[in-house]
C-alpha cells in the first residue's frame, strides 16, 4: 500500500509504541499534522504553547517511563525553539525523538522562508540526527532514530523531514528486522579479567564507597546495586540524577554527593580507599577540584559509554558495559564483607550534619523552602514523582525529599535548564497517569515556561505546581552573597501575582505564607483532578548548605553554622 510521507511518519510512530506526542504546527510540518487527524484515536497530540515546552515534555515523559518521548515542530523558528530541550536531554542521556518539518528539498540552501539548517544546529546536542531526502527511507530512518535514542547511552535524536518528502508517496514497508548499524554497537558485558580485577579491589578495600548514578536506573540495575551493597556492606552515595537508584531510607545509603551533597558523603569520598562508580560520569559538580579528589582511593568505573572512562577521573579498573549485565556477571563471584569501623565513622559525620539541619532550627514567623519540601514529602507519603526546576529549590528538594523509588526525581542536572520543571512534569504525567506528580519550581524558572499552564488546562493534566517564591533568582543570589559581597545585581524580581495568573488560566490555586497552611493547600491540590498551583511565599535570603564552591576541594565545604554558632 502506498502512503504519503506524513502517513508513514504516523504509522512508524505507532509501530514504535508511541501513544502521545508533544508539538506545535507550522507550514513545513503541516502535511504531517493533516495526517494526524486519521490517527487521533491512537496517537494523541498535545498542543504546547512554545516548542521548548514540547521538548521538555517529551523529556519528562522519557525520564518518567524510560520510553522514548516524542516532540514535533515546524521548520525554522519551531525547530530552533527545540534546541534548549534537546541540549537538556543530551546532557542527561534522556531518550527523545524530535521530528521537524523542513522546507522542500529544492529550496534547501536557498534561505527559503523559515529555513534553518537544523541538522547543522543540533549536531552537537543530539546523539544523532537525520535529514531525510527520500520518502522511501523515511520508515527505516524513524526506526533507526528510535533505536539510537533508546539503546546504549540514551539520548535525543532529531529527524528533519522536508515538506515534499512528507507529501511524496511510497510503499510503506516497516523494517521488521532489528536495526544493525556497523558504527553503533554499545558495549554490554565485561570480560572475565575485568570482573576479576574489580572483585580483587573490592576484596582488598577497607574504606570502599559506591557512587551510584543515573546509569543504574537507565540500566534497570536497582536490585543488583542493592545486592552488591548489602552483601559487601559498602555504603552508597548518590548523584543528583542517581537519586532513587536505591531507596534513600536504606541504612547503607549515605545521601547525595557533590557541591550541595551531604557532608558525610563528601568526607567519605575523600577518605575512601576505593570508589565503585556505577553509571555516573564524575561531573564537576560531583568532584570539585579533580587534583585533590579521592586521592587515596582506587577507582572502579563501570559505564556504558567508553568515552566516560578515564575522562575526568582515572580508573584503575574501567569497564565499558551495561550495568545490569556487568553486575550480574560480578555478583555470583562476590564474597560477603563487613566494614563496621568505616560505617561507624560515616555515622559520626552524619550525626554532625543532622545537628546542622535547618529543620531543627527555630524559625518562627518565616517559611523555609526546606520546610515546604519536607512537608510535601510527608504529605505525599514520600511517594510522589517530583519534577524540579533549577536553583536553590532544586537542591533543597534533593536534600529534603528522600526518594524511595527509581525515576521519581526528574530534574535537569547536566545542563541545569531553568524552565524545565513545569513542562517536564506535564510530560511525566502523560507517561505515568497514575502517579502523584509535583512540579517544584522557582519563581524565576517557572516564568520561563509558564505559558504551558494553558497546555495543562486545555488537556486537564493533573499536575500540582508548587512555586517556591523567594522573589529572587535565589541560587544566583546565593553566589552573590558568598562571592560578590551581596551585590544583588539582576537577581531580585518583581513577580506577577501567580495565583491571579493561575486564575486567568482557570487553574485552581492557593497561596501559602505560613507553615501551618501547607497541609491544607497540599490536600486541596491532591483533591482536584486537573492542574493546580500553590504559591509558597518563602524566606527571601535562604542559603543552601553544605556548599563546595565551584572548583574547590570536595572536603572544603561551607557548612551551615550549628545553632548558637552563627
Partner 1 sequence: MAEAKIDSKVTVVALVENEPGVLNRIASLFRRRAFNIDSLTVGRTHRPHISRMTIRVEAGPEYARKIATNLQKLVNVIDVRIIDNEPHVERDLALIKVRNDDADSRNTITEICDRYPARIVDVGPKVAIIEMVGTEEIIEEFIELVRPIGIVEMIRTGVVSMGRGTRIHDTNFINRRALVEAAEKARSGNGRLV
Ligand X SMILES: Cc1cc2nc3c(=O)[nH]c(=O)nc-3n(C[C@H](O)[C@H](O)[C@H](O)COP(=O)(O)OP(=O)(O)OC[C@H]3O[C@@H](n4cnc5c(N)ncnc54)[C@H](O)[C@@H]3O)c2cc1C
Ligand Y SMILES: Cc1ncc(C[n+]2csc(CCOP(=O)(O)OP(=O)(O)O)c2C)c(N)n1
Catalytic residue annotation: 51, 113-114, 163, 475
Residue 427 binds which of ligand X, ligand Y, Mg ion, none (CB < 5-8 A, kind-dependent): none
Cα–Cα distance between 114 and 27 in angstroms, integer? 9
Which among 110-118, 149-157, 401-409, 439-447 is the span making contact with ligand Y, rule CB under 6 A?
Answer: 439-447
Cβ proximity to ligand Y, 293 vs 472, nearer residue: 472
Site string for ligand Y, 1-40 (x = CB under 6 A): ----------------------------------------
Instruction: State the DSSP H helix or E strand holding residue 373, giving kind and residue range, or none if neither.
Output: helix 369-379
Residue 93 binds which of ligand Y, partner 1, ligand X, none (CB < 5-8 A, kind-dependent): ligand X
Residue 390 binds which of partner 1, Mg ion, ligand Y, none (CB < 5-8 A, kind-dependent): ligand Y
Rg, Å, the chain Cα set: 24
Cα–Cα distance between 37 and 507 in angstroms, integer? 28
Provide the minimum distance between the beta carbon of 182 and partner 1 in the complex, in angstroms, as a whole number: 4
Contact status, residue 425 vs residue 473, Cβ threshold 8 Å: no
Q: Which of 194, 248, 308, 443 binds ligand X (CB under 6 A)?
A: 308
Cα–Cα distance between 544 and 298 in angstroms, integer? 31
Instruction: Determine, following the binding rule CB under 8 A, whether residue 504 of this chain makes contact with partner 1.
Output: no
In this structure, what DSSP letter does residue 181 have?
B
Estimate to the nearest angstrom the gap between the alpha carbon of 526 and the chain centroid: 24
Q: Which three cell numbers stand for residue 19?
A: 501513544
Q: Which of 371, 394, 462, 470 binds Mg ion (CB under 5 A)?
A: 470
Distance set, CA 317 to CA 189, 218, 297, 329, 427 (Å): 14, 22, 12, 15, 38
Cα–Cα distance between 143 and 18 in angstroms, integer? 12
274 φ, ψ to 5°? -155, 125
Instruction: Determine, following the binding rule CB under 6 A, whether residue 277 of this chain makes contact with ligand Y.
Output: no
Contact status, residue 63 vs residue 428, Cβ threshold 8 Å: yes
Cα–Cα distance between 480 and 486 in angstroms, integer? 5
Q: Which of 81, 116, 141, 265 binds partner 1 (CB under 8 A)?
A: 141
SS3 41: coil
- 384-413: which residues touch ligand Y (CB under 6 A)? 389-393
Which among 76-84, 166-174, 282-290, 510-518 is the span making contact with ligand X, rule CB under 6 A?
Answer: 282-290
Size of the site for ligand Y (CB under 6 A): 20
Cβ proximity to ligand X, 59 vs 459, nearer residue: 59
Q: Which three cell numbers stand for residue 71?
A: 516532540
Q: Which of 106, 109, 113, 181 binds partner 1 (CB under 8 A)?
A: 181
Q: Which three cell numbers stand for residue 534?
A: 500553590
Within 13 Å, how many C-alpha atoms sit on residue 475's CB side?
A: 20
Instruction: Determine, following the binding rule CB under 6 A, whether residue 258 of this chain makes contact with ligand X.
Output: yes
Provide the minimum distance between the beta carbon of 80 and ligand Y in the complex, in angstroms, as a whole number: 15
Q: Which of 202, 240, 263, 387 binds ligand X (CB under 6 A)?
A: 240
Instruction: Determine, following the binding rule CB under 6 A, whether residue 279 of this chain makes contact with ligand X.
Output: yes
Residue 148 binds which of Mg ion, partner 1, ligand X, none (CB < 5-8 A, kind-dependent): partner 1
Cβ proximity to ligand X, 418 vs 521, nearer residue: 418
In this structure, what DSSP letter does residue 184 have?
B
Q: Which of 305, 316, 352, 357 binds ligand X (CB under 6 A)?
A: 305
Cβ proximity to Mg ion, 202 vs 448, nearer residue: 448
Provide the minimum distance between the beta carbon of 141 and partner 1 in the complex, in angstroms, as a whole number: 7
Provide the minimum distance between the beta carbon of 371 and ligand X in the complex, in angstroms, as a whole number: 20
Instruction: State the DSSP H helix or E strand holding residue 481, giving kind and residue range, or none if neither.
Output: helix 474-483
Q: Where are the alpha helices (DSSP H) in 380-433?
A: 392-400, 421-431
CA angle 363, 364, 369 (to 5 degrees): 50
Provide the minimum distance between the beta carbon of 472 and ligand Y in the complex, in angstroms, as a whole number: 5
Q: Which three cell numbers stand for residue 193?
A: 579479567
Cβ proximity to ligand Y, 75 vs 469, nearer residue: 469
239 φ, ψ to 5°? -80, 170
Cα–Cα distance between 513 and 511 in angstroms, integer? 7
Instruction: Determine, following the binding rule CB under 6 A, whether residue 93 of this chain makes contact with ligand X.
Output: yes
Cβ proximity to partner 1, 108 vs 552, nearer residue: 108
Instruction: Determine, following the binding rule CB under 8 A, whether residue 183 of this chain makes contact with partner 1.
Output: yes
SS3 25: coil
Q: Which three cell numbers stand for residue 160?
A: 528533519
Which among 178-186, 266-274, 441-449, 518-526 is the span making contact with partner 1, rule CB under 8 A?
Answer: 178-186
Cβ proximity to ligand Y, 91 vs 225, nearer residue: 91
Instruction: Determine, following the binding rule CB under 6 A, whether residue 156 of this chain makes contact with ligand Y.
Output: no
Cβ proximity to ligand Y, 145 vs 358, nearer residue: 358
Q: Which of 59, 144, 322, 443 binds Mg ion (CB under 5 A)?
A: 443
Q: Which of 60, 474, 531, 546 binds Mg ion (CB under 5 A)?
A: 474
Which among 307-315, 368-376, 466-474, 512-520 is the span making contact with partner 1, rule CB under 8 A?
Answer: 307-315
Residue 170 binds which of Mg ion, ligand Y, ligand X, none (CB < 5-8 A, kind-dependent): none
CB-CB neighbours of 52 under 10 Å = 28
Contact status, residue 259 vs residue 548, Cβ threshold 8 Å: yes
Q: Which three cell numbers stand for residue 466?
A: 508548587
Q: Which of 25, 78, 215, 427 binds ligand X (CB under 6 A)?
A: 215
Instruction: Determine, following the binding rule CB under 6 A, whether residue 397 of this chain makes contact with ligand X.
Output: no
Cα–Cα distance between 534 and 202 in angstroms, integer? 48
Q: Where are the alpha helices (DSSP H) in 122-221?
A: 138-150, 163-167, 192-204, 214-219
Which among 60-68, 166-174, 239-247, 479-487 is the span making contact with ligand X, rule CB under 6 A?
Answer: 239-247
Torsion of CA 443, 445, 448, 449, to 10 degrees: -100
Q: Using CB under 6 A as the criterion, which residues of the chain lie in contact with ligand Y when the complex forms?
A: 389-393, 416-419, 442-445, 468, 470, 472-476
Q: Using CB under 6 A as the criterion, which residues of the chain lie in contact with ligand X when the complex forms?
A: 92-93, 153, 213-215, 218-219, 239-242, 256-261, 279-281, 283, 285-286, 303-305, 308, 322-323, 390, 394-395, 413-414, 416, 475
Amino acid at each position: 500500500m502506498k502512503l504519503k510521507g506524513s502517513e508513514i511518519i504516523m504509522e512508524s510512530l505507532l509501530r514504535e509504541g508511541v501513544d502521545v506526542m508533544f508539538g506545535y504546527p507550522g507550514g513545513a510540518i503541516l502535511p504531517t499534522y493533516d495526517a494526524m487527524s486519521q490517527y487521533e484515536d491512537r496517537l494523541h497530540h498535545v498542543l504546547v504553547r512554545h516548542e521548548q515546552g514540547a521538548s521538555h515534555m517529551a523529556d519528562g515523559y522519557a525520564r518518567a517511563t524510560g520510553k522514548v518521548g516524542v516532540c514535533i515542530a515546524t521548520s525554522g523558528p519551531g525547530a530552533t525553539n527545540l534546541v534548549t530541550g534537546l541540549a537538556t536531554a543530551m546532557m542527561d542521556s534522556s531518550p527523545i525523538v524530535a521530528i521537524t518539518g523542513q522546507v522542500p528539498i529544492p529550496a534547501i540552501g536557498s534561505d527559503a522562508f523559515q529555513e534553518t539548517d537544523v541538522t547543522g544546529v543540533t549536531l552537537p546536542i543530539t546523539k544523532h540526527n537525520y535529514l531525510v531526502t527520500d520518502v522511501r527511507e523515511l520508515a527505516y530512518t524513524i526506526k533507526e532514530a528510535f533505536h539510537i535514542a533508546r539503546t546504549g547511552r540514551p539520548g535525543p535524536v532529531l529527524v528533519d523531514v522536508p515538506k515534499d518528502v512528507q507529501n511524496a508517496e511510497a510503499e510503506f514497508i516497516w523494517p521488521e528486522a532489528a536495526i544493525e548499524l556497523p558504527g553503533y554497537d554499545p558495549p554490554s558485558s565485561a570480560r572475565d579479567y575485568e570482573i576479576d580485577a574489580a572483585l580483587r579491589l573490592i576484596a582488598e578495600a577497607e574504606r570502599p564507597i559506591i557512587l551510584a548514578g543515573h546509569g543504574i536506573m537507565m540500566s534497570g540495575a536497582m536490585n543488583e546495586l542493592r545486592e552488591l551493597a548489602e552483601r559487601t556492606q559498602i555504603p552508597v552515595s548518590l548523584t543528583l540524577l542517581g537519586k532513587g537508584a536505591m531507596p534513600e531510607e536504606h541504612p547503607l545509603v549515605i545521601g547525595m554527593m557533590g557541591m550541595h551533597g551531604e557532608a558525610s558523603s563528601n568526607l567519605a569520598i575523600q577518605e575512601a580507599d576505593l570508589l565503585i562508580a556505577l553509571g555516573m560520569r564524575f561531573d564537576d559538580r560531583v568532584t570539585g577540584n579533580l587534583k585533590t579528589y579521592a586521592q587515596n582511593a582506587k577507582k572502579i568505573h563501570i559505564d556504558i559509554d567508553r568515552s566516560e572512562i578515564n575522562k575526568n577521573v582515572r580508573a584503575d579498573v574501567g569497564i565499558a558495559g551495561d550495568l545490569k549485565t556487568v553486575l550480574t556477571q560480578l555478583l555470583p563471584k562476590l564474597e560477603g564483607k563487613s566494614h563496621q569501623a568505616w560505617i561507624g565513622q560515616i555515622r559520626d559525620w552524619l550525626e554532625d550534619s543532622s545537628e546542622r539541619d535547618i529543620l531543627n532550627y527555630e524559625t518562627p514567623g518565616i517559611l523555609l523552602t526546606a520546610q515546604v519540601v519536607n512537608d510535601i514529602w510527608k504529605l505525599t507519603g514520600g511517594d510522589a514523582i517530583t519534577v524540579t526546576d533549577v536553583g536553590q529549590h532544586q537542591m533543597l528538594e534533593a536534600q529534603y525529599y528522600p526518594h524511595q523509588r527509581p525515576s521519581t526525581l526528574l530534574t535537569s542536572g547536566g545542563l541545569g535548564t531553568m524552565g524545565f520543571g513545569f513542562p517536564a512534569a506535564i510530560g511525566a504525567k502523560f507517561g505515568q497517569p497514575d502517579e502523584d506528580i509535583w512540579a517544584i519550581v522557582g519563581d524565576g524558572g517557572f516564568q520561563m515556561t509558564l505559558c504551558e499552564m494553558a497546555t495543562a488546562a486545555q488537556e486537564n493534566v493533573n499536575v500540582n505546581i508548587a512555586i517556591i517564591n523567594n522573589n529572587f533568582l535565589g541560587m544566583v543570589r546565593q553566589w552573590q552573597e558568598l562571592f560578590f559581597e551581596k551585590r544583588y545585581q539582576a537577581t531580585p524580581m518583581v513577580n506577577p501575582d501567580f495565583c491571579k495568573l493561575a486564575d486567568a488560566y482557570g487553574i485552581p490555586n492557593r497561596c501559602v505564607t505560613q507553615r501551618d497552611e501547607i497541609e491544607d493547600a497540599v490536600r486541596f491540590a491532591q483533591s482536584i483532578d486537573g492542574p493546580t498551583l500553590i504559591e509558597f511565599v518563602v524566606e527571601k535570603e535562604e542559603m543552601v548548605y553544605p556548599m563546595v564552591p565551584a572548583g574547590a576541594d570536595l572536603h572544603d565545604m561551607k557548612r551551615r553554622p550549628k545553632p548558637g554558632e552563627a
